[in-house]
Amino acid sequence: MSEEKKYGTIAIEENELIRFENRTKHRDYNIEFTCPEFTCLCPRSGFPDFATIYIDYIPDQYCVELKSLKLYVNSFRNVGVYHEDVANKILDDLVDLLDPKEMHITADFTVRGNIHTVVNASHYKEDLLEEFVEA
């Protein structure tokens, strides 16, 4: 008897980040997401790693669609990836999709081997950063 893939497994495998137009462009505002059930695999041991991922950004033209973000975050569960790469990969993918004014990712990993790892990665839109430096 062959086991068919469940619809959730298929949705995660086929995940695609989706954006929609920011409808409140006349002001800056923060969007914050907390993903408390993040899992991935240690690339050396294959043991699971657990983290809470915090996403905080100021949108420019686009915002991320929540279901697509959920499926994207869940797509890491069977991937061997270092803690440092988790935060930077998520940041790179979301910046590529959204081109936000500002974005910060925090990957707060559960203690493993008596070490608590927190990785912070940030992006600032270049033209806005230049305006700030010149002021």
H-state helical runs in the chain: 7-13, 66-74, 83-98, 126-134
**The pLDDT value given to residue 3:** 81
Q: In terms of C-beta density within 10 A (0-12 exposed, 13-18 middle, 19 or more buried), how is residue 98 classed?
A: buried
**42 noted as active-site residue:** yes
**The pLDDT value given to residue 134:** 65
Please state the pTM of the whole predicted model: 0.90
Dihedral, 71, 73, 74, 75 alpha carbons, nearest 10: 90
The one catalytic residue among 28, 35, 40, 42: 42
Instruction: Please report, for the chain, the start and end positions of each structural domain, with discontinuous segments joined by +.
Output: 13-134
The one catalytic residue among 40, 49, 63, 108: 49
Q: What's the CATH number for 13-134? A: 3.30.1130.10
Question: Using one digit for the tens of pLDDT, what is the confidence trace for 70-93?
Answer: 999 999 999 999 999 999 999 999
Please report which helix (H) or strand (E) contains residue 120, including its range.
strand 118-124
**49 noted as active-site residue:** yes
Regions in the chain scoring below 50 on pLDDT: none
Q: Cα–Cα distance between 54 and 47 in angstroms, integer?
A: 22
**Which residue's structure tokens are 């949705």?**
11
